[in-house]
Amino acid sequence: MLGQMKLIKPLAKKAAALFGLSEAEERMLNEVPYRGMPMPPTDPLIYRFYEMVMVNGPAWKALIEDEFGDGIMSAIDFDITFEREPNPKGDRVKIGMSGKFLPYRYYGSEQGIPEYGYKEPE
């Protein structure tokens, strides 16, 4: 509902009823939005996510490639969990991300050359 996701028509109708929206506003909920924001983000919390990716991204990329092969983690076929983790020094934010692995496709492959970037047997 923060302008980053499209609601399919039945969900847009439910949201419009819940929030007392007009028909025009209901139709807007069904439009494909322009996703993202200017970079780097200026909101302090969102900036910390950006910072985590900038600092740790190369290591996460290497770990994913070592485990799965040459590809990406989907941000479309994606789940996220969020919970508070009690800690005597101050509660912590615990976030878990799960995205489908999408291997790169290699074009012009021949017999014995893989078509996709799945991890090769050792």
Active-site residue (options: 51, 98, 109, 115)? 51
Backbone angles phi and psi of 99, in degrees to 5: -125, 145
Active-site residue (options: 27, 35, 48, 92)? 48
Mark whether 74 is an active-site residue: yes
Torsion of CA 69, 99, 94, 50, to 10 degrees: 80
Mark whether 51 is an active-site residue: yes
- The encoded tokens of residue 83 equal 């919970």
Active-site residue (options: 25, 27, 35, 74)? 74
Mark whether 98 is an active-site residue: no
Instruction: List, as one string, the DSSP characters of 28-96.
Output: HHTSPP-----SS--SHHHHHHHHHHHHHHHHHHHHHHHHHBSEEEEEEEEEEEEEEE--TTS-EEEEE
Report the distance separating Cα 73 and Cα 64, nearest Å. Answer: 8
Residues with catalytic roles: 48, 51, 74
